[in-house]
Amino acid sequence: MTNEWTTNPMKDDRGFLTAIQIKKIISNEPNDRNRLMLKMLAVTGRRISELLMLRVKDIIPADNNAYFIILKKKKKEYILKPIPERIMIELMDYIKVERLLPSEFVFRFTRQYAFQIVRKAGERVGIIYVGERQKKLHPHHFRHSFAVNMAHNLTSPAQLAMLSKLLEHSSVNITMQYLKFNVEDQRTIIEELYS
């Protein structure tokens, strides 16, 4: 079975979305809250559980950062992570419109509902399955896509360590899994080096 994911030049059997596919999913989501959640998944690389535990008081708009609860070995840690400025503006507008109190969660729904939001958003634009394994679209595809797209744009080993820290991987080896290149990618590298 061939589709636009299996013919992607950055082959990955777990599947990821291209930037164009992500934009298409987000731009066709009619609900403001759901669209904001999708944008945050796409541009922060956070897990859905981390996003759903975000409270208004954890957000630092002046610095474009937020404290996310990261679960590490069954231990909760509050870790400061960046949020792009344009998303921070939308986030603060949403909080103001919804009149959320500092102690309230930004997104007040369950993981299961978040999965439904992502699946319905994908269905709207014809993206139901992702990758060679044809897995149904789910929130982690946004994190995986963030990591794959970032990894393929790295220009130095130091940036790999930075990406690993951004994703809060326990080891750089986990992050290196996103650096899979197919034969065409390898050919391009060789031609660039030796031409």
pLDDT > 70? residue 180: no
Who has greater pLDDT, 153 or 69?
A: 69
The pLDDT of residue 189 is: 56
**Is there a domain that residue 155 lies in?**
yes
Once rounded to an integer, what is the mean pLDDT over residues 18-27? 94
Residue 132: pLDDT band (50, 70, 90) is: confident
Q: Report the alpha-carbon angle 45-4-113, nearest 5.
A: 45
**Is there a domain that residue 3 lies in?**
no
Query: Measured between alpha carbons, how far is 121 from 125 in angstroms, rounded to an integer?
Result: 7
The pLDDT of residue 106 is: 98
Who has greater pLDDT, 190 or 28?
A: 28
**Is there a domain that residue 54 lies in?**
yes
Who has greater pLDDT, 138 or 179?
A: 138
**Is there a domain that residue 2 lies in?**
no
pLDDT > 60? residue 173: yes
**Is there a domain that residue 12 lies in?**
no
pLDDT > 80? residue 31: yes
**Is there a domain that residue 126 lies in?**
yes
**Is there a domain that residue 9 lies in?**
no
The pLDDT of residue 35 is: 98
**Is there a domain that residue 62 lies in?**
yes
Which domain CATH number covers 150? 1.10.443.10
Give the chain's length: 195
pLDDT > 70? residue 108: yes
pLDDT > 90? residue 148: no
pLDDT in tens, 45-75: 899 999 999 999 999 999 999 999 988 767 8
Residue located via tokens 């298409």: 24
Q: Report the alpha-carbon angle 74-78-80, nearest 5.
A: 135
Number of domains in the chain: 1
The pLDDT of residue 23 is: 95
What is the domain range of residue 40?
Answer: 19-193
pLDDT > 60? residue 14: no
Q: What is the pTM of this model?
A: 0.80
The pLDDT of residue 145 is: 85
